Amino acid sequence: MAINSKNKVPEFSIEQEQNEFAASTEREKIKGSKNLNVPPLRFPEFTDEWTKSTIGDCFELYSGNTPSRLDKKNFSGEINWITSGELKEHYIGETKEHISEEVVKENNLKLIPVGTFVIAIYGLEAEGVRGTGSITMQKSTISQACMAFTPTSMITNEFLYSWYKKHGNAIGIKYAQGTKQQNLCYEIIEKFKIQYPSLKEQEKLNHFISLLDERIATQSRIIDKLQSLIKGIIQRLVHDGLEKETWHKVMLSEILSERNELNIEYYPVHSVSVSVGIVNQVEYLGRSFAAKDTAHYNVVKYGDIVYTKSPTGNQPFGIIRQSQCQNSVAVSPLYGVYKPDSFEIGNILHYYFLNPLNTNNYLFPLIQKGAKNTINITNRRFLENSIPLPISNDEILSVSKALSSLNTKIVLENNTLYTLLKQKRYLLNMLFI
């Protein structure tokens, strides 16, 4: 089911579709042997086996190009130019950057039509990039970090979207190549095997998954608005506090101390996520990236501030977050771990650094770029800049409490989103081969 740019409410609700599906699968019992080429669950009106093929036999593949950024005019047109970082939701409409028809011709770029499925093929080692893909809602061009699929047989791009959502993460882990940057290429992608049903069954599956994705997208927008609200509140508090002189600049070395505690108790290994914070690698990323022996890893306790130097998205100097994990955990020895003077001070730091602009402005004077653009900053050096904080302890407590109340709402909404995503993963595993 296509969703237009005005995000109209679907004709049927996701609840109705789920009830229909639950009732049908309750009646459905797959007949025949285990060798039948069909998924575990199906709508009851479909019984034929699925067809086996390869991506190369069923789709025309195309990867784009990036016009030179030395000439700013190259990005002053009206034609969508899709980058891999924008392939987050089921559908992609307006893009952040645009190019002109002249630039399209000069760079031998191809205009891909509405309804084209596009995936990210570069940087698959980064969080949230593996398995990402979207269907275009406007005519677009793509960067070289993307791959577009045009059907040449009886598979719709909507069906391919769901198939890739099921297999994309595993594909990225198993088949992406490269040392520092993990990429997929045409020669690898075209050989992937795919199995698909009749167009009528595809249509029903597509409609069902689209409704679920629309609910997920709505939930994501709720969370984004709450996060934007927190960022806006902290910026207003800082502005008004400095203007009224109830806030002052404080060196981080005055309110943070390096923990320097090794993981001799072998606590579970965690990572730092931009959106979620301190997260368990296995639970959040699907696998562990830790060394075999993690005794030299750093311990993180509840309320600690963690700094990872890994660049991501619009935070090229790394991420700063407070640990909300009730129990002690471990992080890579490349991370800096700091104990704040109080949980509330660490809490304000956490929300202050949620804004990428604040993080970049704080870290930029401290960073030294090494060979190959590596980030050189010691754990001690990290503390050698200042941030604004309330002068009085009472205001520190009240600000932390207010921000935490909003964050509690975000946690609840994130739990709902997690449930929806978990439900979708289950349905993809059961409905697709």
Predicted confidence at residue 6, as pLDDT, reads 36
Which pair of tokens denotes residue 126?
């980064």
373 pLDDT tier (thresholds 50, 70, 90): low
- Report d(CA 202, CA 415) in Å as an integer: 30
Question: Looking at the structure, do residues 236 and 309 belong to the same domain, yes or no?
Answer: no
Measure the N-to-C terminal CA separation of the chain; round to a whole number of Å: 21
pLDDT, tens only, 399-414: 999 998 998 898 899 8
Report yes or no on 149 lying in a domain.
yes
Question: Looking at the structure, do residues 298 and 276 belong to the same domain, yes or no?
Answer: yes
Would strands 319-322 and 146-151 be described as parallel, antiparallel, or unpaired? unpaired
CATH number at residue 346: 3.90.220
- Report d(CA 203, CA 158) in Å as an integer: 8
29 pLDDT tier (thresholds 50, 70, 90): very low
Question: Looking at the structure, do residues 209 and 288 belong to the same domain, yes or no?
Answer: no
Higher pLDDT, 25 or 381: 381
Does residue 271 have a pLDDT over 80? Answer: yes
Question: Looking at the structure, do residues 290 and 403 belong to the same domain, yes or no?
Answer: no
**What domain range includes position 187?**
52-194
* Nearest alpha-carbon partner for 251 in 130, 155, 389, 418: 389
Question: Looking at the structure, do residues 257 and 177 belong to the same domain, yes or no?
Answer: no
* Whole-number average pLDDT of the chain: 87
Question: Looking at the structure, do residues 375 and 309 belong to the same domain, yes or no?
Answer: yes
Number of domains in the chain: 3
- Report d(CA 213, CA 158) in Å as an integer: 12
pTM for this entry: 0.71
Within 46-175, strands assigned E span 51-54, 59-63, 79-82, 91-92, 97-99, 117-120, 133-136, 140-142, 146-151
DSSP 384-408: SSEEEEESSHHHHHHHHHHHHHHHH
End residue of a domain, out of 387, 409, 425: 387
- Report d(CA 20, CA 39) in Å as an integer: 18
Question: Looking at the structure, do residues 279 and 409 belong to the same domain, yes or no?
Answer: no
Partners of residue 61 on adjacent β-strands: 149
Most confident of 93-102, 179-188, 241-250, 267-276: 241-250
3-class secondary structure per residue, 224-256 = HHHHHHHHHHHHHHHHHHHHHCCEEEEEHHHHE
CA neighbours within 13 Å on the CB side: how many for 304?
26
Which helix (H) or strand (E) segment is 368 a member of?
A: strand 368-369
- Residues of the chain by 3-state class (helix, strand, coil), percent to 5: 40, 20, 40
Question: Looking at the structure, do residues 30 and 119 belong to the same domain, yes or no?
Answer: no
Which pair of tokens denotes residue 406?
């909003």
Higher pLDDT, 231 or 257: 257
Report yes or no on 37 lying in a domain.
yes
3-state secondary structure of 308: strand
Report yes or no on 2 lying in a domain.
no
